Amino acid sequence: MSFISGGRPEDRRTVTDPRALRALAHPLRIALLDHLMSFGASTASECAEAVGSTPSNCSYHLRALAKFGLVERVEADDGRERPWQSTATGLTLGRTEDPAMQFGVDTVERFFADHQIDEDAARLHRSIAQRDSVPTEWREASILSGYALRIAPEELRELGEKLDALIRPYIALTRSDAPDDSSVVVLGLNAFRHPDEPAASDEGGAS
């Protein structure tokens, strides 16, 4: 599998074009973007192996993403099949004042969230299944933690900003000083009000 070492300029892009949002509302396209943002430029054949599809199917969906500037072709090192790379190093979905368009954004956001949860769980299960074959230093460094915080909305926003600032220097596509023994690591952070929080707390009651 090809892998372009880090060092790209950071480009965290906000997607607001409703056509681009519709283009993203497809599990294979999300998987392709996730792969390219994690491992760098890859050919359609390499993408197919990674996401469990065919090269022709991946080529079709990569071209669809390219129409909206989400991926692009780059030159091949060996002059053979040209690989694809993501044009941004991170994506967020934009807000809009148009209620009709916002409904579409909300729908895509829910799709993204559900897909991300499923993918994170699947990767974690695969990691656990492969645990015995992982070098000891990686097993000991891995993190699987859960916390229940008592926190206010503004504090949660501030915590998220602080965590983002700590994590961002290690992003695979943009890091230029990675040690020789580094590898791509999955880090997922989810923080949301507990769905089982008693309704009385909305009115100032303590749970």
What is the DSSP code (8-state) at residue 32? H
| Model confidence pLDDT, tens digit, residues 138-193 | 999 999 999 999 999 999 999 999 999 999 999 999 999 999 999 999 998 889 99
Q: Would you say 26 and 108 are in contact if contact means Cβ atoms under 8 Å apart?
A: no
Interval 25-60: pLDDT, tens: 899 999 999 999 999 999 999 999 999 999 999 999
**What torsion do the CA atoms of 178, 182, 184, 188 make, to the nearest 10 degrees?**
-90
DSSP character at residue 42: B
Write down the pTM of the prediction.
0.75
5: confidence class by pLDDT, cuts 50, 70, 90: low
Alpha helices in the chain (DSSP H): 18-24, 27-39, 44-51, 55-66, 99-129, 136-141, 153-167
- Name 187's Cβ contacts closer than 8 Å, sequence gap at least 6: 167
